[in-house]
Amino acid sequence: MGKATTMKNSDTHRTQFDHNQPKNDSTSTTIDSRFNQTLKNVQGLLKGRSIPGKVLLTRRLDPADELNLLSPDYRRTQSAHETGTSDRINTILDEDVQNTSKQGNTANVGKLKSSTSDHEIASKEVQRSTIGARATDSARVTKLTKELSGTTVILERLRELAWSGVPPDMRPRTWRLLLGYAPPNSDRREGVLRRKRLEYLDCVSQFYDLPDSERSDDEINMLRQIAVDCPRTVPDVTFFQQEQVQKSLERILYTWAIRHPASGYVQGINDLVTPFLVVFLSEYLEGSTETWSVSTLSSQKISEIEADCYWCLSKLLEGMQDHYTFAQPGIQRLVFKLKELVRRIDEPVSRHIEEQGLEFIQFAFRWFNCLLIREIPFRLVTRLWDTYLAEGDALPDFLVYIYASFLLTWSDELQKLDFQEMVMFLQHLPTQNWSHQELEMVLSRAYMWHSMFNNSPSHLAG
């Protein structure tokens, strides 16, 4: 169904942002003109096409807003009367642009207040979560709060709302539910979490808290490799250099590897634990991760956080087991799909990459292996993972569209580089100054291309 998106035609000029210059009136005017051009491009693309649902196009007025709710409400299913035509899409595009040009939008704020008057608790949480957000975002967060506070959470509805981003204080509950770790029924939730946390403790005692004399040679080597990789995990974030944090990572990874012998430990899985660790620690620690100290938490709290990370990691990897088995065939398959998709969307850059002799596996393997954690600033990772987890079982296929959009962000630059320059560029992508706005652009294009190609494989042929 509908998503509020900022999109661009891959065959037209791509908007570039200069992160090294301070924003001023001239820069703002340039961005406005480029945004209007993007509108025309998208409208031209959509004319004559019939794409399911509504495609809303919006521009963030406050890109620093933590909520980062630019992306659309995502719906995996649709009914016949909800399917829109291209004319309807264009009408919605025009209306939405007019709405986003009005700062303040007091009418919508008034509606929000009246609609939540019967939910005082929810209203307080929304007020904490929507400072600086657009009124339409506030209304959506109100729905998210109401959904989470219900006796039984409707997971499909939660996925729709979470796809566009989840406020930080709601992430722990939302992620546990999206992954199926916490049950939708609130009456059962506390009991299930207590039981699973105790089960994790038993596993640590049984497999980790042992002398090396009771381990096999393979287990000793695996534990040593994990111990080497933990200090290398997200090295630019000082929080992960704390000894206690690295010990928690080590326990989680080793316990997971022992209980999943089909894959065991594979380098890259250590990165996948980090978003869970930060999100579940945020329930107990405030402020920036740079100021966090795990030493302030009791051993019981640390154990519960580790357990949540362990079970959520297990749930995440259930849907992509062949990504981490011998030779990692799942990743190789997705890299091939990525190559074919890029060829169809942007033939010039695809041809240039091929002519230079660069194979997609040389740069995209790490993207699929670590889910872009090493490619974007860590402060943006949890927002990206809101969309990952909202995709559920469909995530592996949707990754192809996200990574195509990510790569083609630099289409113009790539076509000017030779083999060696491309290798260096793709290994050190200029994302260090990215804001949530750039990430939303990537997700928006990914959704558009997914809508166009995923259910029409013939579009990728020939």
**CATH, residue 434:** 1.10.472.80
Q: Report the 3 state secondary structure along the chain.
A: CCEECCCCCCCCCCCCCCCCCCCCHHHHHHHHHHHHHHHHHHHHHHCCCCCCCCEECCCCCCCCCCCCCCCCCCCCCCCHHHCCCHHHHHHHHHHHHHHHCCCCCHHHHHHHHHHCCCCHHHHHHHHHHCCCCCHHHHHHHHHHHHHHCCCECCHHHHHHHHCCCCCHHHHHHHHHHHCCCCCCEHHHHHHHHHHHHHHHHHHHHHHHCCCHHHCCHHHHHHHHHHHHHHHHCCCCCHHHHCHHHHHHHHHHHHHHHHHCCCCCCCCCHHHHHHHHHHHHHCCCCCCCHHHCCHHHCCHHHHHHHHHHHHHHHHHHHHCCHHHCCCCCHHHHHHHHHHHHHHHHHCHHHHHHHHHCCCCCHHHHHHHHHHCCCCCCCHHHHHHHHHHHHHHHHHHHHHHHHHHHHHHHCCHHHHCCCCHHHHHHHHHCCCCCCCCHHHHHHHHHHHHHHHHHHCCCHHHHCC
State the pLDDT at residue 11. Answer: 41
445 and 367, same structural domain?
yes
pLDDT score recorded for residue 163: 96
253-308: pLDDT as tens digits? 999 999 999 999 999 999 999 999 999 999 999 999 989 999 999 999 999 999 99
The verdict on 287 and 376 lying in the same domain is: no
Q: Give the pLDDT confidence score for residue 33 in this predicted structure.
A: 53
Do residues 378 and 298 both lie within one domain?
Answer: no
Q: Are residues 432 and 312 in the same domain?
A: no
Pairing state between β 3-4 and 55-56: parallel
> Could you tell me if 269 and 361 lie in one domain?
no
- Asked if residue 230 belongs to a domain, the reply is yes
Query: Tell me, what's the pLDDT at 457?
Result: 59
Same domain flag for 233 and 335:
no
Query: What's the confidence (pLDDT) of residue 121?
Result: 41
Task: State residue 454's pLDDT score.
Answer: 82
Minimum mean pLDDT among 30-39, 41-50, 238-247, 398-407: which range? 41-50
Q: What is the pLDDT of residues 355-364, one digit of tens each?
A: 999 999 999 9
Overall domain count for the chain: 2
Residue 76 pLDDT exceeds 90: no
Q: What is the pLDDT of residue 318?
A: 94
Q: Which amino acid is at 230?
A: C
Residue 417, in any domain of the structure: yes
The mean pLDDT of the chain is 79
Domain-embedded: residue 192: yes
215 lies in the same domain as 241: yes
Residue 160 has pLDDT above 80, yes or no: yes
Instruction: Identify which has the larger pLDDT, 351 or 113.
Output: 351
Does residue 25 have a pLDDT over 90?
A: no
Query: Tens digits of per-residue pLDDT, 88-105?
Result: 333 333 443 344 343 444
Residue 366 covered by a domain:
yes
Length of the chain: 462
Among the candidates 267, 298, 319, a domain finishes at: 319
Residue 40 maps to a domain: no
Residues 291 and 374 in one domain: no
Instruction: Summarize pLDDT for 421-458 with one digit per residue, the tens.
Output: 999 999 999 999 999 999 999 999 999 999 998 876 56
Average pLDDT in the 395-422 region? 97
Write out the residue range of the structural domain in which residue 236 sits.
188-319
> Has residue 298 been placed in a domain?
yes
Angle between helices 171-178 and 155-162 (to 10 degrees): 130
- 306 and 379 part of one domain: no
210 found inside a domain? yes
Point out the domain boundary residue: 268, 287, 319: 319
Closest by alpha carbon to 316, among 401, 390, 378, 226?
390
Q: Are residues 303 and 364 in the same domain?
A: no
**Whether residue 311 sits in one domain with residue 210:** yes
**pLDDT of res. 74:** 38
CATH number at residue 195: 1.10.8
Please state which of the ranges 85-89, 331-335, 381-385, 454-458 shows the lowest mean pLDDT: 85-89
Whole-prediction pTM: 0.73
pLDDT (0 to 100) of residue 460: 54
* Percentage of the chain lying above the pLDDT 70 cut: 69
Out of 319, 340, 365, pick the residue that ends a domain: 319
Please check whether residue 90 lies inside any domain of the structure: no
Residue 37: what pLDDT?
52
pLDDT value for 455: 74
What pLDDT, in 10s, does the model give residues 105-149?
443 333 333 333 333 444 444 344 333 333 448 888 999 999 999
Q: Does residue 214 sit in the same domain as residue 315?
A: yes
Average pLDDT over residues 39-45: 45
